[in-house]
Structure 1
């Protein structure tokens, strides 16, 4: 078994595709439009779906926003350098909500960014 994808409901599909591809450096892997069922999907990720997990962006026609809720936490992405990743996100117009630094009570360097729908993304600096 392996994790295939995480699904996020988004209020503007193209805005979310732009964020995950342009700001986060993912690739748009595939899209599906289901007008009869009134939704569209876009799968984004860092490589082929057969090799790793992806994010499924789901746009339900006519729904401009969602409440994140208190159960969902965040998506985590490994990066080589958390501070440099924050700089790149910021330069691309993204929102850094926690600058790179050690996690409380530990030495792992993390940072947080937020996507246009309010979902948090943790950037975890890979240890050498």
Structure 2
């Protein structure tokens, strides 16, 4: 039996005009995070909003403008230096053309490589096994790199 979501047509979904805009992560040291996301990962700083009266800053980073691409919102609360991640959040995934070269570059920038490039340990039912690696940002968030097929 098809679920409600499966029964929706493309025109039904387009009525909402929905598109994934961004994901927000809280960061303890905004400059270290900008060095990582913009410097090491090559994202562009798209927009910055300072809220002095409320003591926080939002910086949006990504590989393309917000009108057409999903981006990351870095939220820096000025009076906080770190956060716990809980057990619900997993990771952010980025597709790369050459995973070995990407990891070598990141390692040269002292980015922590949690899992070096290699095939996934498990094979999907259809026999697919991506080549992946994991790195860590300055706040301990996991970033999965997936080599483009």
Q: TM-score, normalised by structure 2?
A: 0.83
Name the residue aligned to 1:103: 120
Cα distance, 1:105 vs structure 2: 2.1
Structure 1 outlier segments of 4+, above 4 Å: none
CA deviation vs aligned residue, 1:55-79 (integer Å, no higher than 9, x gap): 0000011100000111100000000
Equivalent in the alignment of 1:36? 53
The separation in 2 between residues aligned to 1:55 and 1:46, in whole angstroms, is 10
**2:77 alignment counterpart:** 60
Q: Deviations over 1:1-28 (max 9, x none)?
A: 1110110000011110111011111111
After TM superposition, the structure 1 = structure 2 runs for residues 1-128 of structure 1, keeping only pairs within 5 Å, are 1-106=18-123, 107-127=129-149
Q: Normalised by the size of structure 1, how large is the TM-score? A: 0.96
Q: Determine helix, strand or coil for the equivalent of 1:36.
A: coil
| RMSD value, Cα | 0.8
Bigger share in strand: 1
How many residue pairs were aligned? 127
- List gaps (5 residues or longer) in structure 2: 1-17, 124-128
Alpha-carbon separation, structure 1, partners of 2:131 and 2:21: 26
